[in-house]
Amino acid sequence: MPAPQLKILYLTTIKEIHLNILLDICQRFGHETHLIGGHPAFQGRDDLIRHGPSLWTRLRRKVYDDDRFLHSINLTRRVVRKIKPDIIHALGVDFWGTVAVKAASGVPVMVSLLGGDYNHRSWWEDSRSDMIRETLTQCNLVHTNSGPALTRFLQEEYDLDAGKVLSMPWGIEYQKIVDILEQVDPAQTRQHYGIKDDEFVILAPRGMRDVFANILNLIPAVKRLTAEGIAVRALIRTHGTDKELQRQVQAQITTHGLEDRFISIKDFLPYEEIISLHAIADAMVSIAKNDQPAAVILETMRAGAVPVISDLDVYRDVFEPDKNVVYIDDSSTEDIAQKLIQVARMAAVDKAAMVQANTKIVAEGYDSHRNGEKLNAAWQKLAKIRQQYAVPDS
C-alpha cells in the first residue's frame, strides 16, 4: 500500500542550494509543498518554479534582528493555522529552525543542519548558542548529512539522544550533473574566463562568510605556487554576507600582486555554470571551520577535480586521505601551498585513480534520487506524530 501524500511546509532561504533537491523528492512522492523563504520570490531561482510550491512571504534577507525574527514567527503561525501541514521542515538551525519550533503549534518539526551551523562556538555569541540548544532540544527530529562524528558531537554538546538524530545525506542531483558534464565544453569555459590551456586551475567556491575566513591563507599560497614556476589561475567566489572578509580578500590579492592570477565570481551562478567550473578545475579548495560533507565537495568529486579540504572529523568519517581528498591545515599558508603543489604535480595515473574512487563514492552514497526513499520514510514517520496534536483554527 503506497504511503499517504503529505503536506509539507518548508522554512528556508530560497537561494539555499539544497531546496531544489528536496522539492524534487517531494514532487516524486506527490507531496504538497509550501514555502516560507527569506528572499524576494524566486529571485534567481527559475528552476524552482517547475515544482510549484506555494510561496507565502517575501522577506528581505538582513541582519538577524528581533523585528524580522518575530515577524517570521508570527507569519509562520498564521500559515500553519491556514494550511494545517503534516510536518514542518526547516533548513538550518540558526534562524529557520528556531522559527519552526516557536511557530509549530503542535506540528512536528524536522530541522536539517546546514554546513557548520550546528557549532556556535566559532562565531556565535552566547545568546545564539542558547537559542540553538533550545531549538535542537524542542524539535522532533534533527537531520544531518554527516556520519557518526557529528552525531557524537550533538550528543556531547547538546545532550541529544542518538535516536533523535537522523544521519542521512540527501546528496546531490547526480544524474543532472552527469548530463551537464556531457554537454560542457571545457575549452569554451576556459576561454570565457580567459584561462589558458596550460594553467593549473584552482576553484574556491564557498563564498565570503566568517566560517570560511581562513580562505585568506589561500592567497599567499597561490603566490608560493607562482614562485615555484606553476602557471596558476584561481577562481574565487567573492559573493557572500561577510563584507569585511570580502574586503580583506581583495586587499590581499592586491598586496601580493596577484590580480592577474585571481578571477572573482561575484554573482549567483546558474547550476550549469557552477558544474562547468568544477569541470575545468584541477583542484577545488574548501576551507571551513565547521562543516558537513558539502554539496560543493561532492560535485567536484564527480566532476573530476581534486578536493583540497580542511581536516575535519566530519570529513574523515567519509573521505579517505589521498584516496578521495587531500587534507590541509587551513591555518597554515605553507601547508596549503605544499598540498596544492602536490596536486599540481600529481601523476596522471594517481589522479585518475582518485577520480574513479570519487565517482564511485558519490554514485553509491550521495545520489539524491536514491536517498529520497529514505528521506520520504523519515517524513512519513514524523507525520504520524501529528495525529497526537490539533492545530488551532485561529
- What is the maximum span of the chain, computed from C-alpha positions, in angstroms? 70
Confidence grade of residue 129 (pLDDT, cut at 50, 70, 90):
confident
- Per the structure, the complete domain to which residue 298 belongs is given by 174-365
Nearest CA-CA partner of 252 in 265, 262, 266, 239: 262
Tell me: pLDDT of 119 over 90. Answer: no
CATH code of the domain in which 377 resides: 3.40.50.2000
If asked whether residues 242 and 322 sit together in one domain, one would say: yes
In a domain, 393, yes or no: no
Q: Which residues of 355-378 are buried (b: 16+ CB within 10 A; e: fewer)?
A: beebbebbbeebbbeebbeebbeb
Query: Strands 7-12, 200-204: parallel, antiparallel or unpaired by DSSP?
Result: unpaired
The answer to whether residues 199 and 338 belong to one domain is: yes
Residue 220 or residue 22, greater confidence: 220
Tell whether 185 and 329 lie within a shared domain.
yes
Q: All 3 cell numbers of residue 330? A: 587551513
Number of domains observed in the structure of the chain: 2
Average pLDDT over residues 104-126: 74
Q: At what angle do helices 271-280 and 186-193 cross, to 10 degrees?
A: 100
Q: What is the pLDDT of residues 196-232, one digit of tens each?
A: 999 999 999 887 777 777 899 999 999 999 999 999 9
Q: What confidence tens digit (pLDDT) does each residue in 276-287 have?
A: 999 999 999 999
Query: Does 225 lie in the same domain as 100?
Result: no
Three-state secondary structure of the chain:
CCCCCCEEEEEECCCCCHHHHHHHHHHHCCCEEEEEECCCCCCCCHHHHHHCCEECCCCCCCCCCHHHHHHHHHHHHHHHHHHCCCEEEEECHHHHHHHHHHHCCCCCEEEECCCCCCCHHHCCCHHHHHHHHHHHHHCCEEEECCCHHHHHHHHHHHCCCHHHEEECCCCECHHHHHHHHHHCCHHHHHHHHCCCCCCEEEEECCCCCHHHHHHHHHHHHHHHHHHCCCCEEEEEECCCCCHHHHHHHHHHHHHCCCCCCEEEECCCCCHHHHHHHHHHCCEEEECCCCCCCCHHHHHHHHHCCEEEEECCHHHHCCCCECCCEEEECCCCHHHHHHHHHHHHCCCHHHHHHHHHHHHHHHHHHCEHHHHHHHHHHHHHHHHHHHHHCCCCCC
In a domain, 1, yes or no: no
Residue 84 falls within a domain, yes or no?
Answer: yes
| Cα 280 to Cα 282: distance, rounded to the nearest angstrom | 7
Measured distance between the N- and C-terminal CA atoms of the chain, rounded to whole angstroms: 35
User: Given this model, what pLDDT does residue 16 score?
Assistant: 62
Least confident span in 63-67, 179-183, 384-388 = 63-67
Across 30-44, 150-164, 185-199, the highest mean pLDDT is recorded for 185-199
Q: Write the pLDDT tens digit of every residue in 76-100.
A: 898 899 889 999 999 988 789 999 9
Q: Tell me, yes or no, whether 200 and 134 share the same domain.
A: no
Same domain assignment for residues 91 and 162: yes
Does residue 149 sit in the same domain as residue 182? no
283-286 sheet: strands from edge to edge: 262-265, 232-237, 200-204, 283-286, 306-310, 326-328
| Residue 202 belongs to some domain of the structure | yes
Instruction: Kindly state whether residues 357 and 384 are assigned to the same domain.
Output: no
Residue 2 inside a domain? The answer is no
Grid coordinates representing 383?
507525520
Do 322 and 187 lie in one domain? The reply is yes
58 assigned to some structural domain: yes
> How far is the C-alpha of 60 from the C-alpha of 41, rounded, in Å?
10
Supply the mean pLDDT for the chain: 85
The answer to whether residues 231 and 167 belong to one domain is no
pLDDT of residue 62: 33
Task: With respect to residue 213, please indicate whether it lies within any of the assigned structural domains.
Answer: yes
pLDDT in tens, 153-171: 889 888 888 889 999 888 8
Look up cell 581583495; give the residue.
250
Which cell numbers in the block locate residue 79?
500559515
pLDDT of residue 230: 97
pLDDT, one tens digit per residue, over 344-366 is 999 999 999 999 999 999 999 99
Let me know whether 43 and 14 are in one domain.
Answer: yes
pLDDT over 70, % of the chain: 85
Most confident of 27-31, 247-251, 338-342: 338-342
| Shared domain check, 273 and 194 | yes
